[in-house]
Structure 1
Amino acid sequence: MKFEKFFIPSAESGVRLEIVAAKPNDKGPFPTVVFNHGSTGRGQNRSLYSRTVAPAIVAGYFVERGWMALFPQRRGRGKSEGVYGEGLAPDGSGYSCDVEIAITGFERAVEDVDAVVNYLRDRSDVDQDKLVIGGVSRGGILAIAYAGMKPNTFRGSINFNGGWLGRACPSHEFVNPTLFERGAPAEIPTLWLHGSYDQYYQIGHCRGNFERFLSAGGQGDFVAAPMGHALMFKPALWKDHVDRYLRDLTD
């Protein structure tokens, strides 16, 4: 499996986003997943901002099944240009628990996904009828919410351990369900994969987010696996669920 790296324009003038792609060897067009990265822990270690995130274990899973996997790096992350501004506190202490700052950071992330979606429409090797959005942690909640905010864009949405604020912020009890609820209008099946021992998001909180999503009209399945926040790196715990989900989406 080979990774290809390239840059696309963002919504911000003169600022480009890095994308890492992995795809099968034939010509396509391929069913395609856009997989979104998470945060950098507490946001205090700036050296993590420049680390490109494209997990080979996720790429390999999709490529082996005939899918192309795209891993966009949002502004200020990886080799993407611009400032990283997803909810950081003004004093430089890391991610802010302030609701307004957190949600403004989320909206900034949405702008970057918009740029990726616009780019995808011009790729001849993308099967436009078989697009899925996924992600882990902040990327997971972004995947669910974005699908509902921009309906008729993605056929499915896969969330690994999703949430925007961790339990160190009391405001996570408001911010996370509020953002997940934005995904409900998508009217597509979703798959929520959560670790029962996640150190950032307690499983009861995650189930509550899912119930809020369902109550707002969302559709989906919730899986609790015996793992923590690193669930994504244990495909034995989730591949059967994702296999079934993708099969149902594309049959």
Structure 2
Amino acid sequence: MFNLRNLSTALRWGFSLVIIVFALQGCITVREPVFPKAWEKKGTLFKEDLVNVKIGGKQLRLHMVSARKASETPLPIVILTHGSASWAQTDIALGQAAFDAFKYLELLEYIANQGFGAVFFSHRGHGFSEGETSKFSCGWDKNYVEKAMSVGLDFEAIHGVLSKVQWADSKNVIIGGHSTGGVGALYYAGLKPNGVIGVLNIAGTYGCTGGTYGGRNIWKTRTGWKEHVTNGNSVRQLWLYGDNDSYTAISDLKDYVGMKNIELVILNGADHHILDGKLSDLPERWKPTVSKFLNSIKGELQ
């Protein structure tokens, strides 16, 4: 039976196909935004830019947004990134390239208000960042770790950029991210355990739901992932997960619960999208936990 909902869906898909066809035929010109951009909001200084990095021997540019309060001394840094399901470069023609950066602006402002310099970047092949996304197959455990490694190397590149920024205290850096960004942060912490002072893992995972390989994820691999995480837990870590996460069951984390320096906080009723999920009260539930974590680390620096 064809109802209004079906009609709406059909029109939406039809409109998207028209845009894609016109873009492919050159009828739509996609203009690259002009960077850098800078603005101020309630005393918080924002800057958006494409920064030059070298990853795997290749020169490219990553999209980065920073937020900070004015300070006479360098600020400790929190570096964040998004998950792999976020808009990739193929969506630029549809005007969705900077979706993640805009979604994270409120979080960046919140962290800046805690006395940190807050930085968000889009990892390779996403948003305005150049490069290619790493290949992925649900059938190979090795791919899960390779994806975490790819994002981890992007963290390393951004960390290197910040080492040359005057307002950034690049020796005191907390790294974190959502979903793939979370396991990417864990990878970098394991790669350079003395290079960071904390990890904020927000529903970190990489894997598949549904189909033949449904339920497979990085936490179930036997390809050295646990050893890598263990190598990085010399620094304090906050892990935030929802008990309705369709990508990672809390039971998947059983081998990591109780590890030194890892604090697991479970948000009842929350799904994988903790930052912008369907539960309107979620931000007010995770913000106090994140504030306590950040300020406790900051207090140790003074």
TM-score normalised by the shorter chain: which range applies?
0.7 to 0.9
1:20 corresponds in structure 2 to: 65
**Offset at 1:128?**
3.1
CA contact (8 A) 1:148 1:184 kept: yes
Correspondent of 2:271 among 210, 214, 228: 228
Higher mean displacement: 67-76 or 167-176 = 167-176
1:152 corresponds in structure 2 to: 194
Q: Which amino acid aligns with 1:189?
A: R
**Offset at 1:144?**
2.0
Q: How is 1:160-171 mapped onto 2 (pairs within 5 angstroms)? A: 160-168=202-210, 169=213, 170-171=215-216
2:289 corresponds in structure 1 to: 241
Higher mean displacement: 128-137 or 179-188 = 179-188
Q: Larger relative contact order (C-alpha < 8 A, sep ≥ 6)?
A: 1
**Offset at 1:197?**
1.0
Query: Structure 1 145/101 Cα, relative in aligned 2: closer, same or farther at 3 Å?
Result: closer
Query: Structure 1 117/102 Cα, relative in aligned 2: closer, same or farther at 3 Å?
Result: same
Q: How is 1:108-123 mapped onto 2 (pairs within 5 angstroms)? A: 108-123=150-165
CA contact (8 A) 2:148 2:187 kept: no
**Offset at 1:178?**
4.7
CA RMSD of aligned residues (A): 2.6
Q: Aligned partners of 2:125 and 2:89: how far apart in 1?
A: 13
Q: Aligned partners of 1:129 and 1:8: how far apart in 2?
A: 20
Per-residue displacement from partner, 1:98-124 (whole Å, max 9, x unpaired)? Answer: 223333333222222221121121122
CA contact (8 A) 2:186 2:199 kept: yes
Q: Aligned partners of 1:197 and 1:45: how far apart in 2?
A: 30
2:176 corresponds in structure 1 to: 134
**Offset at 1:196?**
1.1
Q: How many pairs align?
A: 238
Correspondent of 1:184 among 205, 219, 230: 230
**Offset at 1:209?**
5.0
CA contact (8 A) 1:146 1:182 kept: no
Q: Aligned partners of 2:127 and 2:89: how far apart in 1?
A: 14
Asked if 1:37 is matched to 2:79, the reply is no
CA contact (8 A) 2:243 2:249 kept: yes
CA contact (8 A) 2:180 2:206 kept: yes
CA contact (8 A) 1:158 1:190 kept: yes
Query: Structure 1 220/115 Cα, relative in aligned 2: closer, same or farther at 3 Å?
Result: same
Q: Aligned partners of 2:170 and 2:224: how far apart in 1?
A: 29
Per-residue displacement from partner, 1:65-122 (whole Å, max 9, x unpaired)? Answer: 121111111111111112222x335xxxxxx442233333332222222211211211
2:91 corresponds in structure 1 to: 47
CA contact (8 A) 1:144 1:190 kept: no
Q: Which runs of 5+ in 1 are unaligned?
A: 90-95
TM-score, normalised on structure 2? 0.70
Percent of aligned pairs sharing the same letter:
24
Q: Which amino acid aligns with 2:145?
A: I
Asked if 1:107 is matched to 2:149, the reply is yes
Query: Structure 1 136/177 Cα, relative in aligned 2: closer, same or farther at 3 Å?
Result: farther
Correspondent of 1:143 among 180, 185, 209: 185
Q: Which amino acid aligns with 1:31?
A: P
TM-score, normalised on structure 1? 0.83
Asked if 1:74 is matched to 2:123, the reply is yes
Q: Aligned partners of 1:241 and 1:134: how far apart in 2?
A: 14
Q: Aligned partners of 2:89 and 2:255: how far apart in 1?
A: 29
Q: Aligned partners of 1:242 and 1:129: how far apart in 2?
A: 21
CA contact (8 A) 1:35 1:139 kept: yes
CA contact (8 A) 1:75 1:83 kept: yes
Q: Which runs of 5+ in 2 are unaligned?
A: 1-40, 277-281
